[in-house]
Amino acid sequence: MLTPVQNEEQTARVSGRRLAPFALCGIVTFALIPITGETNVDWVEVLLAFALTVSLGIAALLAPQLTGGRFAGIAALTALVAIALLRDGTGGARGGYGVVVIVPVLWVALYGSRRQLWQVLVVVTLVLAVPLVVLGVPDYPSTGWRSMPLLVLSCALVGFVVQELLARERAIGERLQAAHSELQRLAETDPLTSLPNRRALEAAHVREIAAAQRSGRPLTLALIDLDRFKDYNDAHGHPAGDALLRAVSIEWSQRIRTTDMLARWGGEEFCLLLPGTDTAGAQLLIDGLRACVPARQTFSAGVIAWRPGTTGEQLIAGADEALYRAKRDGRDRTVVALGAAPEARRARRAHDAPAPAATS
């Protein structure tokens, strides 16, 4: 996550890149006046236009929010006022600066709305047409009535095409983002039970351990294993075993808090991550889960509380060791670990291994 200073620096860089081509256009526009040796120049109007342009550029750098979004139209209208002054101050239509009206149109097309674009096009029409009516010849000859509509139409074409292309790009980006989110969800979801899978659980316990480290609140993890699941599969068939896993997932999901996480760890084994819960609270919750297992099935559970300095792998290993003890001591019970095991020790008996069809 970016710090406020970093975020401000990034915003300034983005604003600078956005402004650069428009600033270059402004520099070239005003530089052409002395370079081309203009003699019939009203420097008051030209300097006013220059001051407006510089002020707009400074505002875009120091406060980018004032030149984009709902303010993009205001920025464009300010630029059009500067262009009107520049055009009149350099001899009117003969100066050739009327074509610069396309610059604020392009700005609004890129950073404004469709409504703002229409408003700017109306003002562009007024900037080009009003001098023809009010001032007329010699600075604004009647030939302007031919060039004016062509220039306005060209501005409209550029503006609407740019906005259409941007709209398509945004739509494609949104679809890609949605597809990425869906792939991420599928990658972290067990296809049989629709619970979070092992990958999602491992990412979650890293976050929760960090949160427990910061806040000091308790964190408990439990591994739950359905007893003699292979025997159940052999007696009822693998579809029935899959149905049992789905039923257990639904029942248990309805009995945990929204802050808790129930995940399918693998085969007939589930994992519970319980932020803000100690081992006594975890045992009470597991007793409630035990009462709602369908088909008179039982389960064994290993519970462990997180302690400062314990890694996620050690936490899982400690719960796994407690689960193994529950299995060894007769099943259908919960065993609380005294601490995290240094290494994972998987020592399941052969008849406790998950059936191939049920581990989908």
Q: What is the dihedral of CA 28, 29, 31, 33, to 10 degrees?
A: 150
Bridge partners of 266, per DSSP, are 269
Q: Which residues of 302-338 are buried (b: 16+ CB within 10 A; e: fewer)?
A: bbbbbeeebebebbbbbbbbbbbebbeeeeebbbbbe
Q: What is the mean pLDDT of residues 313-324?
A: 94
pLDDT of 11 > 50? The answer is yes
pLDDT of 217 > 70? The answer is yes
Q: What is the mean pLDDT of residues 314-337?
A: 95
Residue 311 contacts by C-beta under 8 Å, 6 or more apart in sequence? 209, 340
pLDDT of 9 > 70? The answer is no
Q: What is the pLDDT of residues 248-275, one digit of tens each?
A: 999 999 999 999 999 999 999 999 999 9
Q: What is the mean pLDDT of residues 210-235?
A: 94
Higher model confidence: residue 261 or residue 359? 261
Q: What is the percentage of the chain residues whose pLDDT exceeds 90?
A: 69
- Burial of residue 66 (CB within 10 Å: 0-12, 13-18, 19+) is middle
Q: What is the mean pLDDT of residues 309-325?
A: 93
Model-wide pTM > 0.85: no
pLDDT of 290 > 90? The answer is yes
pLDDT of 313 > 60? The answer is yes
Binning pLDDT at 50, 70 and 90, where does residue 359 land? very low
Q: What is the pLDDT of residues 61-115, one digit of tens each?
A: 888 777 777 888 899 999 999 999 999 999 898 888 999 999 999 999 999 999 9
pLDDT at 354: 46
Q: What is the percentage of the chain residues whose pLDDT exceeds 70?
A: 90
Q: What is the mean pLDDT of residues 231-258?
A: 94
pLDDT at 288: 94
Rounded Cα gap, residues 323 and 121, in angstroms: 73
pLDDT at 64: 77
Binning pLDDT at 50, 70 and 90, where does residue 37 land? confident
Q: Which residues are catalytic?
A: 268
pLDDT of 28 > 50? The answer is yes
Q: What is the pLDDT of residues 165-179, one digit of tens each?
A: 999 999 999 999 999
Q: Give all strands of the β-sheet with 334-336 in edge-to-edge order.
A: 261-266, 269-275, 219-226, 299-305, 334-336
pLDDT of 121 > 60? The answer is yes
Binning pLDDT at 50, 70 and 90, where does residue 353 land? very low
| Mean predicted lDDT score pLDDT of the chain | 88
Q: What is the mean pLDDT of residues 130-147?
A: 90
Domains of the chain: 4-182 (no CATH), 198-359 (3.30.70.270)
Bridge partners of 273, per DSSP, are 221, 261
pLDDT at 3: 60
pLDDT at 132: 93
pLDDT at 204: 92
Rounded Cα gap, residues 60 and 20, in angstroms: 10
How many other CB atoms sit within 10 Å of the CB of residue 189? 17
